[in-house]
Chains A and B, each alone.
Chain A
């Protein structure tokens, strides 16, 4: 009997702790994030930034046109806005810029033949590394 009582008591304590944790988390979370209002963003502004983030400012050192106030950046942003208004999508705009300025103007390396290695290698290394460790472990277990 006593044993059950102790178990119940411990369970109660645990529930109480969990509830306190939950309330604390809610309180902290509300203070952190509050009510978010994403509605004031114009759709095209967000789209413009999303696209511009990936375009390199060719007259700057390693910056995107989002962060640059150079003439080039402003002109390209204007052009992107016009193309967006024309109904073009992200890929068409990237394709256009690539056709004029080359791969270099895009910050994010595309999936093409010469970037295959780039994308594959990290996961390849992870796979090989895990394989190597697994082999060692299997060898150890065999003993």
Chain B
């Protein structure tokens, strides 16, 4: 009974968003404050309805209510509670409801905000948001209804995929969706700016907080997904250039470009067209990501079960929501750009790096879609694997990092050449020093040398930038912690985020170019060497887990004859699901990971043992976390920002 109510609430929400769209249209013809108030109230109500509906569905999951086919197909009474809860979004229909929940929540926040002047612009923003909400509700109700009933209630559910029962995986989708949906808000502001007459020139100030929030969540969501893949899938890797991974990376790159573009707008009121375009594209790529995962267009380890009608519907949503704004953008008669900046300026650096971010996004898009294009033209199948992306994305990012390294020394508009050369000299000397030391460690290839060198150089550049800033604000050189609070938080946000990238690069350098691998058939009590470590394959035994039987291999890790750690790698057989997973044994420390995979039996007493020594892997996760932290610090710093007063 209560499930029907949940379903009904979705239908109510559909109507409310539809009415909101009507009012939005009416407001364009003839604006009135009362109509704006109505849209705002509707947005609040809509969130409330969706929230209750979500709770009802969650309640059904918690109680393993198999009268709903969603739960019958995706849940099981023996699932641990946390996975029953997170199971709501571990499937297509439930994840759509989560998407809509976040969408209506953010719309609610926007409608409640007091900083937007109560005019047509506000109405337009909410109207566009409601267009998106309406499309998704339409899609969900007709093609992905989470409240669908089963014909007969089964005694037990079918959903016990062991791979999905994992804390990392439980939080990865919500994080990503928060990121994707946040970009829809920036999208709405940007599109509203295209259609609003007599637009106030400082409308763009609303873009920054939303874009930063999305960016943070996207960073965390992607990092969480990679981290999960690393420790759970047992392949020793963390990024495979899989179409769905690419689908999450592309909006992230656009969002990064967008943040920096907004910075230029706020600082010098330039790049505004560029910013609008990026804001539109950010959400478009989010939609594209959704489309790819759910349409069966491309094969991927991630893809949900595909249904062509779903794909077509999302394609229509994607087509209209991106096509129309891009068309309006194309026709818009923008005012002549007052760009007054010289080659050696921070604007140029930001513009160039923005270009690179967009080109890299297009590159990933081409690589991901190329198999599809070839299939349509030539009727044959080809693969585009990691080597393509490594050969195109990585080289394109090299100039990006180089510009990042130099940019802090460039001034806005025009840089004095003498000053610049002096500062760059110091940077160059330190970089050469650092690279020379790094070379002595013998990375496995020249690319490792380049990657490591970039990481070192970026770190040096950031440190120098911090010193310079402290000097210029006349603070004492011995850092007085209290005085740090006086410094602009968005400066530190940027520093932390950029440092995060440097740390991340260091992590990649270690993991890609200093990795040591070992693979052999071993019997119990055999030893092998892995770098400076000696590892003893000590035992194999059968262990009973809560819903699986595991064959566990135990390994003793020795460093200089003393035992450092015992780790276990297992092959688990899940009895209910009749499936098997491999759990890698990982000894993780700050500077390196030892990663051991217990493989198949080859002879009576021999198993294949794969072991990796992965230096600096933790720095990859650390780097990503720092980037997100930098974003968070910037968000906090927004509280006291001085907004550039624009003379019309």
Residue ranges of A at the interface with B (Cβ–Cβ < 8 Å): 18, 21-22, 25-26, 29, 31-38, 40-41, 45-46, 49, 53-54, 56, 61-64, 66-67, 69, 74, 102-109, 114-115, 117-119, 121-123, 125-126, 129-130, 133, 136-137, 140
Contact = CB atoms under 8 A, between A and B. Distances in A.
Contact of A108 (B388, B444, B514): B388
Q: Which 8 A-B pairs rank lowest in CB-CB distance, beginning with the nearest?
A: A107-B385, A108-B387, A122-B363, A104-B381, A67-B235, A103-B382, A32-B591, A122-B392
Interface string B393-434: 000100000000000000000000000000000000110011
B532 interface: yes
Contact of B529 (A40, A46, A62, A66): A40
B437 A122 contact: no
B382 A33 contact: no
B517 interface: yes
A41 B529 CA distance: 10
B396 A122 contact: yes
Given A25-B433, A25-B437, 9 more contacts: A18-B429, A21-B433, A37-B531, A38-B516, A45-B517, A56-B385, A63-B235, A74-B600, A109-B370
A121 B300 CA distance: 24
A102 B456 CA distance: 43
B493 interface: no
B571 to A, nearest CB: 10
Contact of A36 (B370, B380, B531): B531
Contact of A109 (B235, B358, B384, B616): B384
Given A37-B532, A109-B383, A109-B388, A125 B363 contact: yes
A62 B532 contact: no
A121 B387 CA distance: 16
Given A32-B616, A33-B510, A62 B517 contact: no
25 contacts: A21-B430, A25-B437, A26-B437, A33-B441, A40-B518, A45-B517, A49-B517, A49-B519, A54-B385, A56-B385, A61-B301, A62-B240, A64-B385, A69-B599, A107-B383, A107-B385, A107-B386, A108-B386, A108-B388, A115-B382, A122-B362, A122-B366, A123-B392, A126-B355, A136-B339
A35 B392 CA distance: 32
A102 to B, nearest CB: 7
Contact of B592 (A32, A61, A69, A121): A32
Contact of A106 (B378, B383, B600): B383
A22 B240 contact: no
Contact of B352 (A33, A66, A119, A133): A133
B359 interface: yes
A54 B391 CA distance: 14
Contacts, number: 155
B478 to A, nearest CB: 14
A62 B300 contact: yes
B356 interface: yes
A33 B383 contact: no
B615 interface: yes
Interface residues of B, number: 69
A103 B299 CA distance: 16
Contacts of A61: 299-301, 303
Contacts of B355: 126, 129-130, 133
A126 B397 CA distance: 11
Interface of B: 233, 235, 237, 240, 242-243, 299-301, 303, 339-340, 343, 348, 351-352, 355-356, 358-360, 362-363, 366-367, 370, 374, 377-378, 380-388, 392, 396, 429-430, 433-434, 437-438, 441-442, 444, 456, 510, 514, 516-520, 528-532, 582, 591-592, 599-600, 615-616
Contacts of B303: 61
Q: Which of A35, A53, A129 neighbours the largest number of chain B CB atoms within 10 Å of its CB?
A: A129
Given A25-B434, A118-B370, A41 B383 contact: no
Contacts of A126: 355-356, 359, 396
Nearest to A74: B600
A32 B615 contact: yes
B437 A22 contact: yes
B591 A31 contact: yes
A20 to B, nearest CB: 12
A39 B197 CA distance: 70
A65 B385 CA distance: 13
Contact of A118 (B360, B388, B531, B616): B388
Contacts of A40: 518, 528-530
Contact of A102 (B363, B377, B380, B616): B380
Contact of A125 (B233, B359, B615): B359
Nearest to B339: A140
Contacts of B340: 140
Given A36-B514, A37-B516, A118 B359 contact: no
Nearest to A26: B437
Contacts of A49: 517, 519
B531 A63 contact: no
B29 to A, nearest CB: 39
A74 B358 CA distance: 40
Contacts of A137: 343, 348
B621 to A, nearest CB: 16
Contacts of B529: 37, 40
Nearest to A35: B532
A53 B600 CA distance: 19
B564 to A, nearest CB: 13
B301 A62 contact: yes
A138 to B, nearest CB: 10
Given A32-B591, A103-B382, A133-B351, A41 B517 contact: yes
Contacts of A53: 386
Nearest to B510: A32
Contact of B381 (A21, A103, A107): A103
A67 B429 CA distance: 43
Given A33-B615, A63-B301, A122 B359 contact: yes
Q: Which of A26, A121, A122, A140 neighbours the largest number of chain B CB atoms within 10 Å of its CB?
A: A122
A140 B345 CA distance: 14
B277 to A, nearest CB: 13
Contacts of A125: 359, 362-363
A45 B519 contact: yes
A84 to B, nearest CB: 15
A130 to B, nearest CB: 7
A121 B433 contact: no
A126 to B, nearest CB: 5
Nearest to B383: A107
Q: Which of A32, A33, A41, A119 neighbours the largest number of chain B CB atoms within 10 Å of its CB?
A: A33
A123 B510 CA distance: 27
A47 B488 CA distance: 53
A60 B249 CA distance: 23
B421 to A, nearest CB: 17
Q: Which of A31, A62, A106, A108 neighbours the largest number of chain B CB atoms within 10 Å of its CB?
A: A62
A46 B339 contact: no
